[in-house]
Structure 1
Amino acid sequence: MKILHKLNNSAAICTNSSSDSIIVIGKGITFGKKEGDEIDKSRIDKIYTNADQKITKLIEQIPDEYFEMATIIIRYAERKLEQPLADDAYFVISDHIEGIMYRYKHSISMPFGFMQEAELFYRKEFQVAEWILDYLDAALNVELPDDEIGFLTIDVVNLIGNNNGMNELKQIMEVVKEVEGEVNAAFPNLDKKSFSYKRFRTHLQYYAYRFVSNQEYHDQNIKFDFDQEFITNTKQLIKNINNKLKEKYGHSMDKLEQKYLLLHLQRLIYSDN
Structure 2
Amino acid sequence: MRISKVLNNNVIISVSEETGQEVVVMGKGLAFGKSKGDLVEKDKIEKIFTLKDGSESSKFQQMLENIPQEVVEISEKIISYSEEKLGRQLENNIHLALADHLAFAINRFSKGYQIKNYLLWEIKKLYNKEFQIGLWALKLIEEKFNIQMPEDEAGFIALHIINATMGESMTNTIDITNMVQELLNLIKYYLKVELNTGSLYYDRLVTHIRFFAQRVISKKTASVSETPFYEMMRENYSQAFSCALKIKEYVEKNYDYLLGKDEIVYLCLHLQRVIDESKREN
TM-score band w.r.t. shorter chain: 0.5 to 0.7
Counterpart-to-counterpart distance in 2, 1:15 and 1:245: 49
Return 243-252 or 2-11, whichever deviates more: 243-252
Counterpart-to-counterpart distance in 2, 1:242 and 1:12: 52
**Pair 1:139–1:210, CA change in 2 (3 A):** same
**Pair 1:41–1:49, CA change in 2 (3 A):** farther
Letter in 1 for 2:41: D
Counterpart-to-counterpart distance in 2, 1:85 and 1:211: 21
Structure-1 residue corresponding to 2:35 = 35
Return 157-166 or 135-144, whichever deviates more: 157-166
- Superposed displacement of residue 84, structure 1: 1.2
The yes-or-no answer on 1:157 pairing with 2:165 is: no
- Superposed displacement of residue 91, structure 1: 0.7
Contact conserved, 2:30 with 2:44, CA < 8 A, in 1?
A: no
Following superposition of structure 1 onto structure 2, how do residues 143-222 of structure 1 map, counting pairs within 5 Å? 143-161=148-166, 163=168, 164-178=172-186, 199-200=194-195, 210-211=208-209, 213-214=211-212
- Superposed displacement of residue 149, structure 1: 1.4
Counterpart-to-counterpart distance in 1, 2:82 and 2:206: 27
Structure-1 residue corresponding to 2:222 = none
Larger radius of gyration: 1
Following superposition of structure 1 onto structure 2, how do residues 89-128 of structure 1 map, counting pairs within 5 Å? 89-128=94-133
Counterpart-to-counterpart distance in 2, 1:61 and 1:82: 27
Counterpart-to-counterpart distance in 2, 1:33 and 1:83: 34
Contact conserved, 1:104 with 1:144, CA < 8 A, in 2?
A: yes
Counterpart-to-counterpart distance in 2, 1:21 and 1:173: 40
**Cα RMSD for the two superposed structures:** 4.2
The yes-or-no answer on 1:66 pairing with 2:71 is: yes
Q: Which runs of 5+ in 1 are unaligned?
A: 185-196, 216-234
Contact conserved, 1:59 with 1:91, CA < 8 A, in 2?
A: no
Secondary structure at the aligned position of 2:75 is classed as: helix
Secondary structure at the aligned position of 2:166 is classed as: coil
The yes-or-no answer on 1:140 pairing with 2:141 is: no
Deviations 1:118-138 (A, max 9, x none): 233323322222222211221
Counterpart-to-counterpart distance in 1, 2:35 and 2:89: 30
Contact conserved, 1:200 with 1:264, CA < 8 A, in 2?
A: no
Paired residue for 2:58, among 56, 59, 84?
56
Letter in 2 for 1:146: E
The yes-or-no answer on 1:82 pairing with 2:87 is: yes
TM-score scaled to structure 2, two decimals?
A: 0.63
- Superposed displacement of residue 142, structure 1: 0.8
**Pair 1:78–1:267, CA change in 2 (3 A):** closer
Give the number of aligned pairs.
235
